[in-house]
Structure 1
């Protein structure tokens, strides 16, 4: 049994980490969040210590470390706002623990270089949740592409709309300096998936970039990709809206829909299993996706010419 600490216990994604820690037979001993709406802990680890001040959480972890020959905590799971991930991973490594960090790992690719240095200094490791890499449908598609002609470029359309209410832009997620913007916050794991399946990135063109939606064109070694991301319910196709749907997810490869909507609830557990077995995805695996979203964030949108997503026509 491994001992875990968790940073960001009141966040949306934290329960999935608690479930994964419990499902893999491990123990959450301490958690931190400046917000105290964390009753969900009782469903999983009612004996976990909880702190609303980072300084007290830091002291608690340090005291445990000193009392247990430097390894009181084996892993720190990080579910904090995106802009704090870098700092919290550094804290985990310097506390003698490995880190398990939610996406996006960091906001800019050069942050990865600093974390690699600290891994070397501490001997500890950063793992990240790239859950689509362990999704059976995505794994099967990657194997199919790898087995196909080396010079073929597939035609891919990616559409992801996950509606959010007015609260979204009032929260840290609506602040580009804290979230990295819409492509970073809701899209980074899709961009990682595209790189994982179709190889190295060759071209990155942005056609639309606002607080609530973004779109563009990406070319990889084995694919040409038109992509569209949004948190605006008005972008959900009309037929889906009329059916009461507020989320729309679609990936087509050469005109064929890739069905991967099922199985999402178990992907964190599977990710934890891989990490605990020493097969987690580390810092370098994140570099292409982080560089992709950083470039999108800083790009000047191009004119709607050439390959652009069909949703932009309206």
Structure 2
């Protein structure tokens, strides 16, 4: 019998519960360890999930783990990923993988040098509705792509930001409505529509006492000639589900969160069309663990059998580049273009 891939979870906040459930749901995986900046929180989490609590990341990395899930504040992701790979561990890192492209490139380089697997949590890609859209795009069912419109008009209370001292800060959150809440939608937009060649954006703080933005809007141009709009906010009470429209000369679709609500393409839809309930528009804990489970299963398969990761570190960098491009345009008032490799 093949040995189980042993996971350690770093950071025992709300998102860690989704990782623990995903590991428990995945054949070939077992949660053996956890640690937190708050040792009591780690002990409580360990008792709930049958794991061993460690006081520090260093102690956890020296313990019985093959891979780590980084569920810590965003500003720690790159450094902890590098530490884990240096200790010989594979890495699952929550979004965003880092706060800068320079740190993202350091993680990519370390993955190449060590041969360790690194995946970035972008669980929406694994949902059947999103997979159906990807397959339709690959089949040319949209014709020539014309435009895409991404709307993420979420709501977070002032108490949400005050509950974690790192939230809403440049140093540890790296941004606001786009870097934290909106990067999942940005990842879908980038994955489905392809490379972005220009961004013209406005970035504002409208309602919260935070350092970073709670509202942003951008006009994008894609390498394939299509255009797009992107809006993201945490100031829109009561908060509406994420909506993504992709339109082409031969057909179009509408995704609301992880469900298809319109499929106007010249090929049959392989999944049900209807409203979905998996929305974190007003409550980040309302998303469920189904997507994380699919992504952890892909990760285990990649480590054990060499199956390609659907969202590896390079893919995580692509979404980060778009978010940072929006920030750069909003900060300078100029159109952003990607740097030539």
The normalised TM-score by structure 2 is: 0.75
- Is the 2:155–2:233 Cα contact (8 Å) retained in structure 1? yes
Return the match for 1:284 from 314, 325, 329. Answer: 314
Which whole-Å deviations, capped at 9, do the CAs of 1:162-189 have from their partners, x for residues lacking one? 3211134433121022112121111222
Choose 15-24 or 124-133, whichever is displaced more: 124-133
The DSSP-based 3-state class of the residue aligned with 1:215 is strand
In structure 2, the residue matched to 1:269 is 293
Tell me, yes or no, if structure 1 residue 207 matches structure 2 residue 211. Answer: no
Which whole-Å deviations, capped at 9, do the CAs of 1:58-94 have from their partners, x for residues lacking one? 13532x3xxxxxxx42110100000100011012111
Aligned-CA RMSD value = 2.4
* Cα 1:298/1:177, change in 2 over 3 Å: farther
Which whole-Å deviations, capped at 9, do the CAs of 1:262-304 have from their partners, x for residues lacking one? 365300000011111113222212222111112222333688x
**Mapping of 1:226-241 within 5 angstroms?**
226-232=229-235, 235-236=236-237, 241=238
Shift of 1:117: 2.6
Return the match for 2:5 from 2, 5, 23. Answer: 2
Shift of 1:23: 0.7
The DSSP-based 3-state class of the residue aligned with 2:185 is helix
Shift of 1:247: 3.8
Partners of 1:150 and 1:24 lie apart in 2 by 35
Partners of 2:184 and 2:243 lie apart in 1 by 14
The DSSP-based 3-state class of the residue aligned with 2:144 is coil
Shift of 1:32: 1.0
* Cα 1:28/1:117, change in 2 over 3 Å: same
Shift of 1:14: 0.7
Partners of 1:7 and 1:156 lie apart in 2 by 36
* Cα 1:100/1:272, change in 2 over 3 Å: same
Tell me, yes or no, if structure 1 residue 49 matches structure 2 residue 55. Answer: no
In structure 2, the residue matched to 1:136 is 128
* Cα 1:256/1:30, change in 2 over 3 Å: closer
Shift of 1:249: 2.2
The gaps in structure 2 that reach 5 residues or longer are: 206-212, 260-275, 279-286, 303-307, 334-341
Return the match for 2:220 from 215, 218, 221. Answer: 218
In structure 2, the residue matched to 1:112 is 104
The DSSP-based 3-state class of the residue aligned with 1:117 is helix
Q: How many residue pairs get matched?
A: 279
Shift of 1:145: 2.2
The gaps in structure 1 that reach 5 residues or longer are: 65-71, 304-314
Shift of 1:151: 7.5
In structure 1, the residue matched to 2:270 is none
- Is the 1:133–1:193 Cα contact (8 Å) retained in structure 2? yes
